[in-house]
Structure 1
Amino acid sequence: MTYTAHASAYIDEGAQIGEGTKIWHFSHVSPKAVIGRNCSLGQNVFVANHVTVGNGVKIQNNVSIYEGVELEDYVFCGPSMVFTNVRTPRSAFPRNTSDDYYKTIVKRGASIGANATVVCGVTIGEWAFIAAGAVVNRDALPYGLYAGVPAKRMGWVCECGSTLAFQEHAASCKDCGREYTIDQENVRKRPEESQ
């Protein structure tokens, strides 16, 4: 075994877990889940069948990653944030097959704050930052800073997490120096060799 799991965690046979990943107290990984290398799953985390978790992902306490959700590399899921996978849930009319679940994708480097809710069927762009308590019910742009209910874009963020202030279609991060350009609502990082 190349990963570490607390004795109270349930790792179902067939689950694929990458080297260096740590799984903490009372977590449950389903048999058809795929988890990458060097991830951290906090206390009471559930990973459902057919979920893919990339490398370097941090999932904090009390988060359930339901079928239909895909987390790319270096995603951060804050404590008690929520994913859904059905848009019209009804107890009397259960939706319990893969065909019933909407796909939700969280792209590389994105962060989702504590107690935020991500309604199924959306894509959260690369390095986007979702504030604590926000409700995301539509796609979030790469590098976008989103807050509120429903979540609205409040600004832009650097890959390091600091806010960006664009002037004449360009911004430089005050903390790390990374440089960005913007064309309407498309933010791009300048190649580091040109900075």
Structure 2
Amino acid sequence: MDRPAIESPVHPSAVVDAGARLGPGTRVWHFAHVCAGARIGAGCSLGQNVFVGNDVRMGDRVKIQNNVSVYDAVTLEDDVFCGPSMVFTNVHNPRAAVERKSEYRRTLVRRGATIGANATIVCGVTIGEYAFIGAGAVVTRDVPAFALVAGVPARRIGWMSRFGERLALHLDGNGEALCPHTGDLYLLQDSVCTLVPAAQP
């Protein structure tokens, strides 16, 4: 079988359909399948048994762990992490006997977000920048930037820094906290968490 000309290392057992675009340094591991319309950035890693649909867009440095299917209508921005066996969906009310390909709901995972192992992302939601989805959570609605969510259905239980450390902030209201690792300052105002830009010298 002829393989498409791509710069990135692809395991011999993987299938990358002609037309798929993979950026430099992207690796595709055992038994993965990347469909022809997929657009994947540089420095990504697609683990064993990963499936990537036609209408999928991935930024740079995205890491997809084993046994994850990234179906049509999913967009992953730069530096997104998808844990082992987590699940995306794209139809809200599937029936085997009812064709609903024209009804896909788009899912957007913004830069730096983490989705834990075995989590489920119900289609049509946006996961904010650097949000953290706990293992096994079921996300049914939008997740704010820097939010830590867990449970079924997922509920906000805290806030996380860009580095992936829990912040000493109340769930709601106002306050400020430093990342325990980097010392970056985060501001919580009206239940919206933001990273305060460092002062320029």
* TM-score using structure 2 length: 0.93
In structure 1, C-alpha distance between the alignment counterparts of 2:199 and 2:51, rounded to whole Å: 41
Question: What is the identity, as a one-letter code, of the residue corresponding to 2:74?
Answer: V
Alignment of 1:32-51 (within 5 A): 32-51=37-56
Residue 121 of structure 1 pairs with residue 124 of structure 2: yes
Q: Paired residue for 1:87?
A: 92
Query: Which residue, 2, 18, 34 being the options, matches 1:29?
Result: 34
Question: What is the identity, as a one-letter code, of the residue corresponding to 1:13?
Answer: A
In structure 2, C-alpha distance between the alignment counterparts of 1:151 and 1:100, rounded to whole Å: 24
Alignment of 1:53-132 (within 5 A): 53-96=58-101, 99-132=102-135
* TM-score using structure 1 length: 0.96
In structure 1, C-alpha distance between the alignment counterparts of 2:103 and 2:36, rounded to whole Å: 20
Larger deviation, residues 78-87 vs 173-182 = 173-182
Q: Paired residue for 2:179?
A: 173
Give ranges in structure 2 of 5+ residues lacking alignment.
1-5
Count of residues in Structure 1 that have an aligned counterpart in Structure 2: 193
Offset from partner CA, 1:126-181 (integer Å, 9 cap, x none): 00000000000000010000000000000000001100013862110112211111
- Cα offset for 1:194? 5.6
Q: Paired residue for 2:7?
A: 2
Question: What is the identity, as a one-letter code, of the residue corresponding to 2:110?
Answer: K
Question: What is the identity, as a one-letter code, of the residue corresponding to 2:164?
Answer: G
In structure 1, C-alpha distance between the alignment counterparts of 2:118 and 2:93, rounded to whole Å: 21
Q: Paired residue for 1:158?
A: 161
Q: Secondary structure at the match of 2:199?
A: helix
